[in-house]
Amino acid sequence: MRKKSGPIAVAMFFGVLAASLLAQEARRQPPPPPPPAKHVMHNAADLKWGPAPPGLPPGAQTAVVEGDPAVKGRPFVIRAKMSDGYRVPPHWHPTDENVTVLSGTLMAGTGDKFDQASMTALTAGGFSNMKANLRHYVQAKGETVIQVHGVGPFAITYVNPADDPRKKTEAK
């Protein structure tokens, strides 16, 4: 007499099918969340200030609050401290620049030529968004502290190459 293997084969088939469906469902589940990111907190007194980078006229101080302004595609936050009368000649950036005035007054204008009469006074709490490639210039009125944030790389190109402090350093 022959054994009946039909019911066993059917049970095995459905067992393999169920295991396959469970494996597919497990693959569809989202991966577990990454560990929480480090929470960054700074008091103003804890920032490490130093000379502005060579692309800015000498005399200002800067502090990196978060990130690295040189890294492409990464967000950054920096602060700049400028004395009364400090100015940055007409220039542009390849990425958007967002500026918040923390103290003092930042005079800001747009265009290829420095024109004090057309500048806007941004006081503490004021904000400006300069889109990528927008020609603009600034001047501090009184001691002024600004916070700049954006996505790197933060680079500066002067409309008039003779205004570029890096070129003046190279000429020495």
The phi and psi torsions of 96 (rounded to 5 degrees) equal -60, 145
> CB within 8 A of 81, min separation 6: which ones?
49, 60, 61, 62, 63, 143, 144, 145
Question: Whole-model pTM?
Answer: 0.77
Range of the domain at 87: 47-161
* pLDDT, position 10: 66
* pLDDT, position 156: 97
Residue 145 covered by a domain: yes
* pLDDT, position 170: 61
* pLDDT, position 12: 72
Burial of 170 (0-12, 13-18, 19+ CB in 10 A): exposed
Q: For residue 57, which amino acid is it?
A: P
E strand residue ranges, the chain: 50-51, 61-66, 75-82, 87-92, 97-110, 120-123, 127-130, 136-151, 157-158
Kindly give the parts of the chain with pLDDT less than 70.
1-6, 9-11, 14-18, 21-27, 169-172
Residue 169 covered by a domain: no
**Domain CATH code at residue 109:** 2.60.120.10
Residue 27 covered by a domain: no
